[in-house]
Structures are given as structure tokens and as C-alpha cells.
Structure 1
């Protein structure tokens, strides 16, 4: 079963976006991506590697907030 232990964000670039996105990685798998849309709305995109991922609500909130902080710093 996958958990968020040992996960980290890495910056990803997409030439079709105004702002960079950040990928949450567990081992070599992308679990989700966060970032701001071209309209400035914060978005979370879940990848296919997420099935079977078990997290507590507080872990999930902390993870999303960390991603949002990184995205804010990069705006």
C-alpha cells in the first residue's frame, strides 16, 4: 500500500502553461500535480499512480498546502 512517507515535490514545466506545476513523487511515480492555471486558479491533478494510495486527511491537507506554497513562490 502506498503512503505519503518519503514523497517530495519536483518542479515540472509545461510549455502550454503560464505558471509551472509541481509533481508529487513517490519513488519514481508521479502521484499528483499542483499549480496555478493561466487564470490564477490553484489546481490539483491526480495521476494514474494514485490508486491504492492511503493517506489521512491531515497528511493530505499538509501535502496540498506544501504544493501550494511552492506554486505561490514560483508565481
Structure 2
């Protein structure tokens, strides 16, 4: 019996990578917006949100790659 790719797990991995791609663009845009408006009273909260989204991009990227590898090799 040959091993085959688990398509359900592969689709979940691709969805995680799509979320990571969105966060890869949204995080730096929000961080840049925060640094442009340093005198605004919401500077710190916007910067924190941007940093959290950037960290989420890294997290989702690693989870997505792990899911894709699990789908192919398990």
C-alpha cells in the first residue's frame, strides 16, 4: 500500500499559510502607521496591535509549514 497525502490536513495547512500571508502584510503596515503618528494618544496601543499581528504571522507560518509537512509525510 502506498502512502498518500492527507488532503484534509493539507488544506488546513494552506489555510494557515494564507492567514500568515495576510498577517505578513497587515502587521508591518500597522506598525508603520503607528510610527508615523507618534504624537497621537493611541500610538502605543496601535503599535502593540501591529507587533502582535507580526508575531501572529510568524506563528501561523510555522504552524502552516508543520501541517503541510505532516500531510505529506505522515
Both proteins in one fold, TM over 0.5 = no
Q: Which one has the bigger helix percentage?
A: 2
Q: What is the TM-score with the length of structure 1 in the denominator?
A: 0.33
Q: Which has the larger radius of gyration?
A: 2
Normalised TM-score (structure 2) = 0.33
The higher relative CO (CA closer than 8 Å, separation ≥ 6) is in 2
Please identify which structure carries the higher strand content.
1
